[in-house]
Chains A and B, each alone.
Chain A
Amino acid sequence: MVTPTTNSGCAVSSADGALRKPRFSQDPSSRLSNPQNQAVRRTREPEVPSGMQSRATNGLKDDRGKHLEEEFKYKHLSLLGVFVWILFLHVVGIYFFTRGFLLTRMVLENKSSCDVLPFSDPLSSQPEHSTHGGCWHPKSFDKAIVIIIDALRYDFTVPFAPNAEVENAHLFHDNIPVLYETAVNSPQNAFLLPFIADPPTTTLQRLKGLTTGTLPTFVDAGSNFAGTAIDEDNLVAQLHGAGKNLVQLGDDTWHALFPGYFDPNLTRPFDSFNVWDLHTVDNGVNEHLFPLLASQNYTKWDVIFGHYLGVDHAGHRYGPNHPAMAAKLNQMDQTIRDIITKIDDSTLLVVMGDHGMDSKGDHGGESDDELNAALWMYSKKEIFGRTSAEKVLPPKYAWERFVPQIDLVPTLSLLLGIPIPFNNLGSPIEEVFAGPSGDDWSNLVTVNRLASAQIKRYQHAYAETRGDEGAEAQSVGLWETAEKVHDSKPESPVSVYEAYRQYQRDTLQVCRGLWANFNVPSMLQGIGVLLAGITLLVFYARGLQGDRTELTAPFVSRVSLGSVLGAVAGVVLAGVGATELKVPESSALMAAIGSIFGASSAIFGSPQRVSIPLPNSLWGWLAVIFTLSQSVGFASNSYTIWEDEILLFFLCTFGVVAGVSSMRQESTTDRVLGVYHSIVFVILGRLASVSRLCREEQMPYCRSTYYASSTSSTSAPWQLAIPFLVMLILPTVVKGFYAGSKSYEGAASLWIGIGFRLGLFVTAIFWMLEELDGKEWIPLSDETLKSIRVFLAQLVLGLAFAAGTTGFIYSKPCVSIDVAQSATEPEPNRPSSPGEQQLPRTTVTILGFGNVYGTRFFFLSINFCLAITLMQKPMGQGAMALLLWQILSLLEILDTNSLVTSNSPIGPTVLGLLGSFYYFKTGHQATLSSIQWETAFIPLTTVKYPWSPLLVILNTFGAQILTAIVVPLTALWKRPLQLRDTNAASPSTQKPALKLISDVAQAAATYILYFATINLATTMWAGHLRRHLMLYRIFNPRFMMGAAVLGVVDIVLILFSIAGVRWSTLSVGEIFGW
């Protein structure tokens, strides 16, 4: 804590934070006169803070100070270069792993055509059908209206049936009865079935599946924000090719997928991402749909695709169990009834959900509730049938008699008389082709033979293109069996039907497995880069002796040299054709490898500087155990599922060990403070753990508390009190920590007492208005309320980022300096040294000296804490407040246990644990569906790039971002200010600012090391378990989360934390010299 000569006073000074230069600390009078005071009285000496010295007498020192300042700025900048390189390695490693890991499927450009039947034998062509109109099969309808009610879950549509999990009907039950009624009352006119989606259950992926009949692959999930046109053969293209006039109303995702296919005069797309708006899209669709159904307009179109989003948005915003959902479903019910009355006999009406929603109304993953949608078809002609009596009623539950969503593709194709799209893997739906009396087996055989033949043709083409007979060979035997049964013309066609059916379903299974087609070499390249990066990071963070800034210059130059050489080599390799990688990929990979060699030579080039990075204290081992045991745990789905509880366990362990360690401290102050903060740390963590959002796999051992109920995504009324409590308590808590070192001076009172509190107050008002929205308690229109909310939110963000950043750059340190000229109090015990002059004494009292670096830098954390708090739901705001408090307690623990000055790895590691822990406590899980997309609309009314994704990131990774911001504090909190002493010489040790950024770099590297290890572990486990049943459900989302967190943390550290140290150190240096 203090300079080496005063070790005996170490503990006391760390507690009271007083400035004592070596020679004064031996002077008891200065302490006794002010025992509890953080102030220090110094008699005027030749070396008082340089900022207060007269320039004339100290021109030489000023020059030296200026030189040191320049050196600091330069070293700081090159240090950022090191971290940019670390980021680069992470990006390259993750990219190459992802490239090989996220599933890819070859897209064939082949199209089915009307003239070419899928059969190879000419005999089976059925010429009479073409006379009926229709290509491969006689068409049944001329027109179709396809209504997609986004997120229409199957249990919304059937009467509520109690089961083990749900005993009483929810608000979402029994509100859209029209589908069930018609299917029961006139089974020949309508049927209703569960309609199972293939994950991922995002709308764009689902539309691809629903129109092409293929299985989506995971890599496409990321393109939901910027949809790309579908190249493969699909329903819309076939309809368009058959000369039908297509109209699309609603969700504009369709236009991203099928540009140019729809009638530009009749089509009305609507923005699909504003999930807080329940009505614009639905009312817009209705407004344009019903005029088209009027008799004078009935001839203007052939197929209408209407895509309603209200149900989905109600789910995202409120959760399914909410009156808004009931109202929305009722509206849909009425809409469908209205459409029924308007259509004619030759029009087919299809209503379906593209996916379901989980218990909170979100989707994207592959839990049962997300997969279970509903499919209902209706016609005024009696055409639908059931092959047996037990199939007459729609199934009670979604897991009975379901059909895969891709089955819609062949069914609609054959009904409308167009060819089955080339790449379809679905089967014709039995109820549609069984005939009104349910015994038209020959028709069923015909359509299934067509579908099977097309599947076989596709398999063959795919295998040829890939040069691999795997998929075809696996199921082609079943096709031949089915053909044999067909040719033998058995008595009952049922067996033929069954045989074709078996072939289709079997192929579907084979394809599901096959398209888990991993590029293992690319995965290994990625893992190799990540592993090398971690190894170097371990040495950089924990194995370097002495000052990191001395290493920086050769480090950066060698890394640059290595990467440039590597990049050139990569371009050459790709140019020569020695690798199948594209030029940018190859040069990036080679640049990464080259820079790894450059960095190794810089680090290991001077062996006297490197030591084996093994922990040398219990704290070091604790950090290693926490990181490694968590990493090993990710091999198990259970430990991945229960990560939040495990993190609580580790944090509590740290708190207990910290308490035990504090009991060992010699000084009473250190002991009492340490134990107190350890207890506070543990209790706060346990308190935060009350905030939970359970993932499906945690059931039934978990109860969600984040929202009002487990089937909602709104807050309970009592939770609205949390933001106000945060506003009242949190600034006071922060003030207490500042006051503990007498640092509540200067800008601190304005910043914490007024700015921070005001921001939190506005945040609380915002969330109150937000939750009241839709309840119509306030006599203002929705638009007015929304613009008020947007204004409030922008106000808070402006306060946090615009005003906060400006303030952070220009603010003075939190000290108060009082110079008293007349103070000539005698100091009897003071040893008179020979060189001392007996001048009139000037007493300089500096309050807040003991924590000048820490309190100054902490302003940055307050800015980010405010912005992140705004972006959280009320429960998450409480969690963020607890996080800030825990961080402060942690810093005090580190200080009282002398872990700040020893650069222990435990501080950054526990910050990493805290970041991960509070990720879960702010209503997130390692699943795609837990992303709170709607938070993008807190300060905005529409989607705006790049702000909307940034806002979602601020919500999702808020905890990790805040802990990344405070990482430098593990080296700065109550760091003693080392003033240069003119008498003590040895210039090499006289650069405290460089030592400071070296320590900050070490802390930041250790923090990254935690997340990089987690990322490498999740990456390797996901790669290793790539055939695991739970891959998509558990390991893949965790890998994606780990990679995203690592990238976010790297960038935040570079752009804000380490960069911020520059301003805080400059501002301290300006006052106290260099």
Chain B
Amino acid sequence: MATLAGPPAQPAAATPSSSSSSSSSSSSASANPKFAHPPVSILPSRFARIYALAHPALLLSLVAYRFSSVTNDPVAELLGDIPFLVGLQVVFVMGCLPPAGGERDSNSAITETTPRKPTGPKRRGHGHSAKVPSWSTGLASLAWKLTPALLSLTLTTLLATPILSFLLVLFGAPVTTHHALTFLCAAHMALLSCFPLIYVHGVDGNVWREIWGAARPTDAVWGGALGTCFGAWFGAVPIPLDWDRPWQAYPITILTGAYIGYAFGMWLGRVKGVFGKRINFAPGPEQVRDLKVE
């Protein structure tokens, strides 16, 4: 926690959107924003490589195993599943992903270009540990990694979950009823998508501007987050059908879609041809702008 208390003047708790707009001038000032925030790779340790593969499988089997009880009593089951989901995700991010700033340290070329980042102190602190790889399995390192994990968890609960609940309502979730379900659904989705994102990127305004603009280069974390959203979107498709199946009840299909999308997105984000690529909205103007920048 000491490292976190460090950041002096920067409003660390600023919402991503506001910080992104305030940092926009700095981004245009930097030489080439495209390469300022490279995609996140899974840590090179053996455990990380294995668990990164096992993690989506574990999540999916959790879905399959608990599916029938979710249809029976969705509120209780979704609530009861949250600790398991948190546990799995914490193991995943701490075991397989570099915490906020760590990635950038290893990429020394641009370390000095962004000295004003709110994550600065964390990054520096972690940089020491990265230099001593033998410690990475040690208890101290684990405890040290726990801090950003806990912080990400807090932000996920306080920020991401309400935002996602609001989005669910905007997409047509009931306003007057099903509040607990909407909130739990949002919590699950936030834990899947936002928790790793916050752990890896902190509250770096430039990265979050890329995230809001869906302009991140593809990696496992971003692929998982995007997959969660797409999966949830497609999960809404079977709801109106008149098959009268209990699993068609809101929000079971949405969450199932989100889990499947997360697993698929994580896998796809690491595939060789996809890793590092960005989504292009309109090729024409984008190319024109690239030319302008150069």
**Residues of chain A at the chain B interface (Cβ within 8 Å):** 7-8, 616-619, 636-639, 641-642, 645-646, 648-649, 652-653, 655-656, 659-661, 663-664, 666, 668, 671-672, 675, 682-683, 685-686, 689-690, 898, 902, 904
Contacts and interface: CB of A to CB of B under 8 A. Distances in A.
A801 B283 CA distance: 43
A645 B170 contact: no
Contacts of B171: 648-649, 652-653
B284 A672 contact: no
Nearest to B22: A668
Given A671-B24, A898-B285, A652 B172 contact: yes
B21 A686 contact: no
Nearest to A637: B242
A637 B289 CA distance: 46
A642 B20 CA distance: 38
A638 B240 contact: yes
B209 interface: yes
Contact of B209 (A616, A655, A663): A663
Interface stretch (B88-96, B99-107, B125-133, B212-220): B212-220
B108 interface: no
A659 B163 CA distance: 14
Contact of B240 (A616, A641, A661, A671): A641
10 contacts: A617-B284, A642-B240, A648-B171, A649-B236, A652-B171, A653-B171, A653-B233, A661-B281, A671-B21, A898-B282
Interface in B233-249: 233, 236, 240-242
Given A616-B284, A617-B280, 13 more contacts: A617-B284, A619-B281, A619-B282, A637-B242, A646-B240, A648-B172, A649-B236, A652-B172, A663-B214, A664-B214, A668-B21, A672-B21, A686-B169
Contacts of A682: 170
Contacts of A655: 170
B17, B169, B172 — most chain A CB neighbours (10 Å) = B172
Nearest to B214: A660
B21 A664 contact: no
B28 interface: yes
A692 to B, nearest CB: 12
Contacts of A642: 240
A902 B285 contact: yes
Nearest to B242: A638
A645 B212 contact: no
A663 B213 contact: yes
Contacts of B167: 656
Contacts of A636: 241
A8 B213 contact: no
Nearest to A620: B282
Contact of A666 (B28, B172, B240, B282): B28
Contacts of A660: 212-214
Contacts of B288: 7
Interface in B244-260: none
B46 interface: no
Does more than half of chain A's interface fall in helix, strand or loop, or is it mixed? Answer: helix
A690 B21 CA distance: 33
A660 B279 CA distance: 11
Nearest to B212: A663
Given A638-B241, A660-B212, A618 B281 contact: yes
B272 interface: no
A637, A638, A641, A648 — most chain B CB neighbours (10 Å) = A638
The 8 closest A-B pairs by CB, nearest first: A663-B213, A617-B282, A664-B213, A642-B240, A663-B212, A618-B281, A638-B242, A638-B240
Contact of B20 (A7, A8, A663, A685): A663
Contacts of B28: 666
A649 B292 CA distance: 37
Contacts of B215: 663-664
Contacts of B17: 675
B108 to A, nearest CB: 28
B285 to A, nearest CB: 6
A7 B284 contact: no
B167, B282, B284, B288 — most chain A CB neighbours (10 Å) = B282
Contacts of A653: 171, 233
A663 B205 CA distance: 12
Given A666-B289, A668-B24, A618 B282 contact: yes
Nearest to B288: A7
Given A649-B236, A653-B233, A664-B213, A617 B24 contact: no
Nearest to B28: A666
B258 to A, nearest CB: 15
Nearest to B285: A898
Contacts of A683: 170
Nearest to A901: B285
B283 A617 contact: yes
A898 B175 CA distance: 34
A903 to B, nearest CB: 11
Contacts of A661: 213, 281
Nearest to B171: A652
Given A648-B172, A649-B172, A902 B282 contact: yes
A656 B242 CA distance: 28
Contacts of A685: 170
Interface string B264-294: 0000000000000001111111001100100
A618 B280 contact: yes
Contacts of A616: 282-284
A648 to B, nearest CB: 5
Nearest to A672: B21
A672 B21 CA distance: 8
Interface string B170-209: 1110010000000000000000000000000000000001
Contacts of B289: 666
Contacts of A639: 240-241
Nearest to B291: A7
B26 to A, nearest CB: 12
B92 to A, nearest CB: 26
A646 B233 CA distance: 12
Contacts of A649: 171-172, 236
A904 B171 CA distance: 24
Contact of B279 (A618, A641, A659, A671): A618
Contacts of B241: 636, 638-639
A661 B213 CA distance: 6
A802 B292 CA distance: 51
Contact of A689 (B172, B285, B292): B172
Interface in B94-146: none
Contacts of A618: 279-282
Nearest to A675: B17
A655 B175 CA distance: 19
Contacts of A898: 282, 285
Interface string B1-39: 000000000000000010011001100100000000000
Contacts of A617: 280-284
B257 to A, nearest CB: 13
Nearest to A697: B242
A663 B172 CA distance: 24
Nearest to A640: B240
A8, A645, A685 — most chain B CB neighbours (10 Å) = A645
A81 B142 CA distance: 74
B167, B170, B213, B292 — most chain A CB neighbours (10 Å) = B170
Contacts of B20: 663
B118 to A, nearest CB: 19
A645 B240 contact: yes
Contacts of B172: 645, 648-649, 652, 686, 689
A24 to B, nearest CB: 20
B176 to A, nearest CB: 9
A659 B214 CA distance: 10
Contacts of A645: 172, 240
B27 to A, nearest CB: 10
Nearest to A647: B172
B240 A7 contact: no
Contacts of B292: 7-8
